[in-house]
A and B are shown apart, each in its own frame.
Chain A
Amino acid sequence: MNTEEHAMNYYFYIENYSLFFEKEERFFVYNTYNGKWADCPASSELRTLFTPFLEGINYAVFLSDEAITAYQLWPFIEAVREGFSGDLISAGDATMAPFLFPSLLDFRLEKRKLDKKERELGQEVYSNLKEISFFLHPRIVPENGLFLPEQIFYSKEIVPVAEGWQQVYLPFLHQLTINWDGIIHIWCNCCDEKMWSSVCEVFAPIPAFKIVHTAVESMPPSLEGLLNKDTFSYEVYVTDDSEEECLNKWLQLQSETDIELLFQWLISSEKEWENASDWMERNQIEHVNLLPYYNGENRFFFEEHIYVKEKDLLFEIINKKDIFARKMFNTNYFGKLFLCPDGQLYAHPADDSLGKISEVSLPEMIHQELSEGRTWLSIRDQEPCASCRYQWICPSPSDLERALDRPNLCHLKK
């Protein structure tokens, strides 16, 4: 065939950094470099035309001028081109489409591919563990009862660590640190002199980086007890009720010792947000993380300020690797384990235990979570998110959704 006969024929292609998918009876193209969208109705004729896209065979298809006009594809193609998400090129003399790799993940450890090859999942199993939290005292403020990890524990009864806890934790820590160099979180009551001294004794020799989580009122009894700043940092939890004097003491301690310090300020309302911002501005402090906190009564605050709106998502730029990751695992939870004072290990403290550290080996528990766990692998694959165009643009499910008992934190789908 000569060029003239081909003059009105094209190849339409989607770039490998863009995603093509069908949701809500529409075809969408999302550009992972600039967040630009293009869409068109998903008619059965177009479904046939776009079969190579949909089946992940090739991100290029043949389109005739007639087809483009008949299916009213020009606006869609124009939007794809304008967003640099793909192109329409003259077919010229070419007898076959160019090949463009579909942006589909090929993950070696994907469950359906592993089949019976459990060995693959169990290989180097420690490399999947990124952080482990040791809860030594669930209520880290002794007096006012502020339950720090409440948002993740809910109604689970946690008894503070018993006398002699070191004997239970030490063999586990030994097993852990032979093969692992992730981050250790220590949740404890620093002002309990006895506990603090045990923490120093047990954790100081561990080479992994450690973060001590404590309440602003719960300051270590002495500067001598403060752990080495090269291997320890401190995350100090603050609420609107916290005494400013306590905050100042930490700041003073930081200036004297140069410890790494981050204030985690729990925010339950707009007023608290303003108060925290005022304090930060007044004291010229930047190392503060404002942490939305659900107290059971402030749903409105979340609806107003935390829930995602479509206009936010529409301009969200999520790179391809992050989208792939969100399709495979929960990017908030993956790689994290929680050890409670009774020796039970959790992928999430609100879920079922993976086992007791004295009874089940750590590699076995990690493998269990990787192969059948509901926490690390909890993704947005359920309704209403599963049918939403933003399914993988939205962040993975988080603690706030658990606390609010909602499938998502958005106004789009409830």
Chain B
Amino acid sequence: MEATVFFNTPQHSYLYDATNKAFMHAHPLWKPFKALEDQEVSAEDWEERIRDSFPLLYEQYQVDFPYYKKKFLFLKEQGFFQKLPLKRTISELGSEQVDRALDDIHQMVFEVTNRCNLSCKYCGYGELYSNYDVREGVDLNAAKGKKVLDYFIERWKLRPPRSYKREMYISFYGGEPLLNMPFIKEMVAYVEQHFPKEINYQFSMTSNCVLLQKNMDYLAEKNFHLLISLDGNEEAQSYRVNHAGINSFATIIPQIKALKENYPDYFGESVQFNAVIHNRNTVEGVLDFVKREFDKTPRISELNDSGINPEKVDEFFKTFQNIAVSLEKSKHRERTEQTYFIELPKVRGLGIFTTRFTDNYVRTYDEFFISTNCERLYSPGTCIPFSKKIFVTSTGKVYPCERIGEDHPLGSVDEVNGLQIDRESIVAFYNTFLSKIITLCNRCYRLASCSSCMYYFKDIEHPTCEDFLNRNGFEQYLSDYMQLLENEPHLQARIREEITFS
């Protein structure tokens, strides 16, 4: 990656200097100065060379020439305009990192059952996708679940966590988790009895709420963080159907209202909504409906575009709806954007842009002690396995995340051997993949903000990255965001004040 990139918006010229993580307004003379500097032409000869090669430019800026030359050379002394590409080291994964992630595990997700009482048209385990194991109606048994808990309880005895007051989520996922309440109750009791007091655990669940009414007392008593899947009004909910193809709307809405009525404090504090955007709803419609009915602002997500069944690609894209496009169609766009600010794609994109590419953002106290312009260590977009969570399927396979297709389990659990995680093979798999793509990563201008997960790559043996960004692409990326900031400069201040990025 070249250290200095010049780019334009329709109204202004800028440069981005990666060494200093700095954006600057670029004087038109600086680009030729940089070219001459790279050709090792003495600064004394610049004026003559520019007068000869760019007579119009020279004529226009002749008066300013000495000032901008002096400023260019001043900036060069500060490390700007370096000729050599930016030094970047892409770190390999070490088994100790996997160990540390397991020591400080933040979330355990149990796929309580792979049965479901709905048959949503766009379900990740449905006909639109092909990268999952066949769903055979398996429930996760409590003996396996307890083995997972035991693994961590024992681990914490040997290696005290390096974090304090950390919250840990014990999450129940499906299928529909409420179909296997005996498992959930046993796990809750086991956690309450055996977890060390230093761990502030919290139970959570994602549910379609078909069985909410009969379980709401228990969920409220244990203060479950409940994420309700609801796509909006009846029409919007029409992909979420039961096995007879009947819309679940009429079944679940009264139950959710009953929960709100019977446990208003719990509902206010611990219940959230998630809606999937598709071709039968809109962001504005979902926001309005959930606000009106339940006084909540839902999370909104798009359909997962990884692992699409090749035979269903057309159907997938017919169903798929982009959040940004949906927002554009809003009747009251400004109001919708204000409500949805933190989740707006442009806000999230801008957040990544400013936190990764400027020196204003500091993540930890430790970072204050690291020089900005030292050689930078990068991690590819794949998370360190288990640094976010551990996901246990109903069949006892172990993954670092529930979004990953079932081709790459990182371990397993059974009643006899307990939880088995082969750190060495995880590290070997990760680093082998890295070795195959590292050349591409080194050339990529997006490396600092990479979020490409290796487990999503179609051909892991010969990987090509859809998010790879060359210099031209990077110039466009920078230009797009700077243009957004020229139009809406307050966005950056609001992001700085209101949003915490992890």
Contact = CB atoms under 8 A, between A and B. Distances in A.
Interface string B1-29: 00000000001101000001011110000
Contact of A16 (B165, B358, B365, B371): B358
Contact of B164 (A52, A81, A122): A122
Contacts of A220: none
A329 B159 CA distance: 30
A328 interface: yes
B166 A123 contact: yes
A17 B20 CA distance: 10
Interface in A255-273: none
B355 interface: yes
A12 B363 CA distance: 31
Interface stretch (B255-263, B424-432, B436-444, B482-490): B482-490
A335 B366 CA distance: 10
Interface in A13-61: 13, 15-17, 33-34, 52, 55-58, 60
Interface string A325-341: 10011000011000000
Interface string A56-69: 11101000000000
Contacts of A175: 160
Interface residues of A, number: 63
B12 A94 contact: yes
Interface stretch (A104-112, A194-202, A238-246, A387-395): A104-112
Contacts of B366: 127-128
Interface in B219-270: none
B361 A98 contact: no
A101 interface: yes
A71 interface: no
A114 B501 CA distance: 11
A16 to B, nearest CB: 5
Given A105-B360, A325-B368, A363 B354 contact: no
B164 A321 contact: no
A365 to B, nearest CB: 9
B486 A99 contact: yes
Contact of A363 (B67, B163, B501): B163
A355 to B, nearest CB: 13
Contacts of A13: 25
Given A95-B11, A106-B354, A106-B355, A34 B74 contact: yes
B364 interface: yes
A95 B355 CA distance: 28
A122 B198 CA distance: 12
Given A96-B11, A101-B354, A114-B500, A363 B162 contact: yes
A288 interface: no
Contact of B486 (A52, A97, A120, A321): A97
Given A58-B489, A99-B482, A101-B360, A119 B165 contact: yes
3 A-B pairs with the lowest CB-CB distances in the bound complex, closest first = A363-B164, A122-B164, A99-B485
